Amino acid sequence: MLHTIIKKNSYQDSVNLMLLTNYISALEGVVQASIMMGTPANKDIMRNSGLYTDELEPAGANDMCIVIDTEAHSGLDDILVAVDNFLSDQSVSSSQSSMESVRSWERALKENPNANLAIISVPGQYAAAEAEKALDYGLHAFIFSDNVPVEEELSLKQKAHDKELLVMGPDCGTGIISGVPLAFANRVKAGNIGVVGASGTGIQEVTTLIDRMGGGISHAIGTGGRDLSEIVGAITMLDGIRGLAHNDQTEVIVIVSKPPAKAVREKVVSQLQGLSKPVVTLFLGEKPSAHEGNVYEAYTLEEAAMIAIDLAKGAAVQPLYSLPIDVPKTALNPEQTSIQGLYAGGTLAAEAAMLIADALQLKDGLIHEAGYVLRSNGHAIVDLGDDMYTQGKPHPMIDPATRIQHIEKAAQDPATAVILFDVVLGYGGHDDVAGVLAPAIEKAAAKAKTEGRNLYFVAALCGTHQDPQSYEEQKRKFEQAGVLVKESNNQAVRTVLAMMQLFLEDVPKAHRPATTFAPQAFSTSAAIEALLAGKPSVINVGLRKFTESITASGAPAIQYDWRPVAGGSVKMQQILNQLKDYRFTS
């Protein structure tokens, strides 16, 4: 049925009217619609599309002509209201953010001439080349990309060291420079504790604990997981330590790493002993028995944070940092004997594995295969961020889907007593992990209940109250779903162990003078000093959301929407290089 409405003297631009026509045509009950100004040419178009009515005859060029073909009983009134609403609200709400982006280094440097740091998150095969360009332009590089060969890492780091620049990464998940989060990082309070870490979630756990314990962070420098390997030789960690040693904001330094190669460890510790600032070290997996000189050795990430807080306040370091554990009452069936740890953070998973292995007094329970970091006596700790789970899928810190599958699977196993997991908040992470995991957890627990089992969930919640996700809200959502939420990974694991009647013994640590003390005169580079002197000015090469979190922190950043040169065509890349270098001979 054809309806004609003429709005006299109601001029609209033809683009508006085409958009309106598209909008109206999509409404329920509308077969076809045409909305145009009543010019002779437009009336012809109406005729051609079978929407001409006699009522259009008197309409003129300044009259809006609406012709709607509706299904038999559709109400015309609703459609007219929709027309009016559309015309009264024509401001375009752009779906894209107003963030400006560039597509070349040239323009990135032009738009942000003061840039001093490049964040690189391009595919691994291209990352080294882009980092090299950053160094050539005089920028420090933070390489988020993984799958960069270790030889390339070494050569980049050597080049950076020679140019007195810093290369963080590759495979560097976390950094904080003067409060500005780089990649996956939390918003932490400013303070006098600096961190250098070869572990992403390790840095996140330490920095957020320090924040929530009332301390503050000056900088957190990520080095990438291989920095302390024999091959790389801790180039970035050593330069980072020197940088923090010369940084006025930093009074205490925390080192986080998995156990390094022996020679590298000695090199690092000897450097640390030469500092005038106190240092806390956490070499995850080592169980230190004493502090040495100005180097205080921690067993857990939480202990590292607590020692750092005491040092930052100028308080004496205590021989023991044990927190009392509230052991919840449990009612388990006899066959419910296993702990299933489903982790998103690799370092947090490793710490859980270490604590459980220690409690079980395992000599060789720690493994690294098929995503497991521990598999013993029925207990298992899985690192769901391991490559084998993230091939072609987002990391579980971004997308909880893989974790939900594992929760369902673990919950079905009659041997499972407790499911232990971590939740890492902050920039880069999922907006509402609790909102997604809690229903899955409730469902799994309810199902176990119908099968005659009580299933327990314990979570380690890593984040700060300033993070983009609300810490309290996440905590509340998990607790409503029956999850026991702990404020550190250490406490979460110890709670689970206690539930299983397993206990860890902490031994008080003595403080003795340094044996490897070798005072050395060293300096840091002016460029690293400048990087740590204020908020960084960033060129973000790759993932857009990294730029968003930087600008949200008030630091300047340019988004470089990177694509491989010439679409990755080797032939065209060669031609471009030849044309670039070509000289006409006259």
Partner 1 sequence: MKYQTIDEANRAVIDKIAGGAPFLVDVVPAHTVIPELEGKTLLHAGPPIAYKDMTGPMQGSCVGAALFEGWAKDEMEARSMLEQGDIHFIPCHHVKAVGPMGGITSGNMPVFVVNNRSEGNEAYCIMNEGIGKVLRFGAYSEEVITRLTWMKDVLGPTLSRALKVTKEGLNLNVMIAKAITMGDEFHQRNIAASLVFLKEISPYIVNLDMDKQEMQSVIKFLADTDQFFLNIMMAASKAVMDGARTIQAGTVVTAMCRNGQDFGIRISGMGDEWFTAPVNTPQGLFFTGFSQADANPDIGDSAITETFGVGGMAMIAAPGVTRFVGAGGFQDALATSNEMVEISIDQNPNFTVPTWNFRGICLGIDARKVVETGITPVINTGIAHKEPGVGQIGAGTVRPPVECFEKALEAYASKLGLL
User: Interface with partner 1 by CB under 8 A: which residues?
Assistant: 13, 15, 18-19, 21-22, 25, 32-36, 41, 44-46, 48-51, 91-96, 98, 100-104, 107, 563, 565-567, 569, 571-572, 575-576, 578-580, 582-584, 586
Specify the residue, 46 or 118, whose C-beta has the smaller distance to partner 1. 46
Sheet-wide strand order for 64-70: 2-7, 64-70, 30-37
Specify the residue, 122 or 235, whose C-beta has the smaller distance to partner 1. 122
Smallest distance from the beta carbon of 575 to partner 1, in angstroms? 5
Specify the residue, 46 or 268, whose C-beta has the smaller distance to partner 1. 46
Specify the residue, 101 or 158, whose C-beta has the smaller distance to partner 1. 101
Separation CA 186–CA 207 (nearest Å): 8
Smallest distance from the beta carbon of 156 to partner 1, in angstroms? 23
Specify the residue, 43 or 157, whose C-beta has the smaller distance to partner 1. 43
Specify the residue, 231 or 576, whose C-beta has the smaller distance to partner 1. 576
Separation CA 469–CA 29 (nearest Å): 42
Smallest distance from the beta carbon of 586 to partner 1, in angstroms? 5
CB atoms closer than 10 angstroms to residue 468: 17
**439 touches 465 (CB < 8 A):** no
Task: Please report, as a single letter, which amino acid is at residue 52.
Answer: Y
Smallest distance from the beta carbon of 29 to partner 1, in angstroms? 17
Specify the residue, 44 or 266, whose C-beta has the smaller distance to partner 1. 44
Smallest distance from the beta carbon of 20 to partner 1, in angstroms? 11
Smallest distance from the beta carbon of 102 to partner 1, in angstroms? 7
CB atoms closer than 10 angstroms to residue 275: 19
Smallest distance from the beta carbon of 86 to partner 1, in angstroms? 13
Smallest distance from the beta carbon of 77 to partner 1, in angstroms? 22
Task: Please report, as a single letter, which amino acid is at residue 379.
Answer: H
DSSP code for 103: S
Specify the residue, 327 or 575, whose C-beta has the smaller distance to partner 1. 575
Sign of the alpha-carbon torsion through 548, 550, 552, 555: negative
Separation CA 242–CA 240 (nearest Å): 5
**250 touches 276 (CB < 8 A):** no
Specify the residue, 388 or 566, whose C-beta has the smaller distance to partner 1. 566
Separation CA 412–CA 12 (nearest Å): 63
Helix (H, G, I), strand (E, B) or coil at 149: coil
DSSP code for 335: T
Separation CA 351–CA 298 (nearest Å): 12
**311 touches 294 (CB < 8 A):** no
Specify the residue, 507 or 575, whose C-beta has the smaller distance to partner 1. 575
H or E element: which one contains 245? helix 235-245
CB atoms closer than 10 angstroms to residue 54: 7
Instruction: Render 59-90 in DSSP notation, one character per residue.
Output: --TTSEEEEEEE-TT--HHHHHHHHHHHHH--
Smallest distance from the beta carbon of 123 to partner 1, in angstroms? 15
The residue among 373, 382, 377 whose CA lies nearest residue 337 is: 377
Smallest distance from the beta carbon of 121 to partner 1, in angstroms? 18
Smallest distance from the beta carbon of 514 to partner 1, in angstroms? 55
Instruction: Render 156-191 in DSSP notation, one character per residue.
Output: HHHHHHHTT--EE-SS--EEEETTEEEESB----EE
Specify the residue, 100 or 364, whose C-beta has the smaller distance to partner 1. 100
**Tokens 């070869």 sit on residue:** 198
**Tokens 């065509």 sit on residue:** 569
Specify the residue, 104 or 333, whose C-beta has the smaller distance to partner 1. 104
The residue among 432, 139, 375, 383 whose CA lies nearest residue 258 is: 383
Instruction: Render 499-556 in DSSP notation, one character per residue.
Output: HTT------PPEEE--SS---------HHHHHHHHS---EEEES-HHHHHHHHHTT--
Smallest distance from the beta carbon of 40 to partner 1, in angstroms? 9
